[in-house]
Amino acid sequence: MARSSGAAGFWCLLFLLPLLGNGLVMVEGFTGTYGINYGRIADNIPGPEEVVLLLKKSKIKNVKIYDADHSVLKGFAGSGLELVVGLSNDYVKEINTSSDRALQWVKDNVQSWLPDTHITGIAVGNEVLGGADHELEEALFGAIKNVYKALVQLQLTDIVQISSPHSQAVFANSYPPSSCVFKDSILQYMKPILDFFSKIESPFSINVYPFLAYQSDPEHIDINYALFQPNPGVHDPKTNLNYDNMFDAEIDAAYAALEAAGYIGMEVEVTETGWASSGDEDETAATSQNARTYNYNLRKRLFKRKGTPRRPKTVIKAYIFALFNEDSKPGPGSERHYGLFKADGSISYDIGFSGLSTSHASSLLRSLKRSNSKICRREFGKDGKLGFVPLWDWYTEE
């Protein structure tokens, strides 16, 4: 998908590692198995502080954004949520040509917000390789190196992980999964990145959309296979592995491509996956029922903390696309209907949110008030008077 910007369940506790000399906490880039993409190409969605409330009540700890907007970084301060910021495609060419500019970007958008805003990663570019801009493709590796160099200079490499999400366009084929390889035209750009990520132990980030695969070939793909529903499955004759869902098959296709290119030990992380609840007339699979089925079953699958047929011991982690429907996104109608939440904060469809009904989320947002620049809620105090309580004093993990 072009610039793609979830509900959650019960999160494992965050295991704190020893404090570093600069007072920050060393963490992995992802806690648990489930995260959300917080896209904001919309003019009617809640502000960052209100979003934090929704995320906490939904038990979603991992969040990924597509830029480093300071209003979001400020809104997430003190929340304890783990945030991956994005260096957007618009900056890649500039950052490629100047390590000084990369250093300043990291200072302004990462270092200066730590530790209050828990930034755990930087995604450099989004779906750059396989696109139409070849100058951008050529600039990606240099931008990645310069951002990492800045992290080294600022002693942040143990705190902030670097990645670069890719679309399925980087692959020559993906069926059966074991036959997947990178396109020859992509390898000249991909191999230096994979070499580098191998050395710094960053994962291969891929966006996985069974919805798009089904839409492209509904005659030959069983929709139940795409939706994690009972189906005959797919057998891979080369590996003798059986697949009962397309999500696992697409991940194992990525592993096969990595192995074919010589990167046997690299982990695959899913940076986007989701299903549209509405779309254009020809996007017949984009229905609310299908979106609910996919995201409900995906949630269950991720919470089992298991691997894939090809990598059964490597737990899959995924960011769901997306938090909100984004009414200003360009492209087909489906692009504006991936949200687990509607613009008013209500749930698009129920996939098992803990403590949230379809109307509860929006009523929570309406009850929020600002007091001294802090988000508060109305509550009766011990003296019997109605007042405002800071959100972070009120919120506790269930």
- Calculate ∠ Cα 341-343-345, nearest 5°: 55
* Residue the block writes with tokens 């951002």: 147
| C-alpha to C-alpha distance for 335 and 324, rounded to whole angstroms | 11
Q: Which amino acid is at 106?
A: V
Neighbours of 243 (CB within 10 A): 21
Three-state secondary-structure class, residue 295 = helix
Catalytic status, residue 326 = no
Asked if residues 198 and 237 have their Cβ atoms less than 8 Å apart, the reply is no
Kindly report the length of the chain: 398
Residues 365 and 46 sit within 8 Å (Cβ to Cβ) = yes
C-beta atoms surrounding 188 within 10 Å: 11
Instruction: Considering only the C-alpha atoms of the chain, give the largest distance between any 2 of them, rounded to a whole number of Å.
Output: 72
Pick the closest to residue 131 from 1, 257, 321, 272 (CA basis). 1
* Residue 297: both structure tokens together: 């079953």
CA of 188: how far to CAs of 90, 170, 257, 260, 305, in Å? 22, 11, 14, 15, 34
CA angle 243, 247, 250 (to 5 degrees): 85
Cβ atoms of 189 and 134 within 8 Å: the answer is: no
Which structure tokens are listed for 281? 């007339």
Of 82, 269, 272, 283, which residue is the catalytic one? 272
- Which residues, at least 6 apart from 199, have a Cβ–Cβ distance to it below 8 Å? none
Choose, from 50, 127, 269, 326, the residue flagged as catalytic: 127
Integer CA distances (angstroms), 332 to 67, 234, 256, 289, 321, in order: 23, 30, 31, 19, 16
Q: What are the beta bridge partners of residue 357?
A: none
- Distances from the Cα of 50 to the Cα of 81, 83, 117, 377, 387, angstroms: 13, 16, 16, 11, 19
Q: What is the 3-state secondary structure (H, E, C) of 251-269?
A: HHHHHHHHHHCCCCCCCEE
- Looking at the DSSP bridge assignments, the partners of residue 377 are 368, 389
Active site residue 50: no
Question: Which residues does the annotation mark as catalytic?
Answer: 127, 272
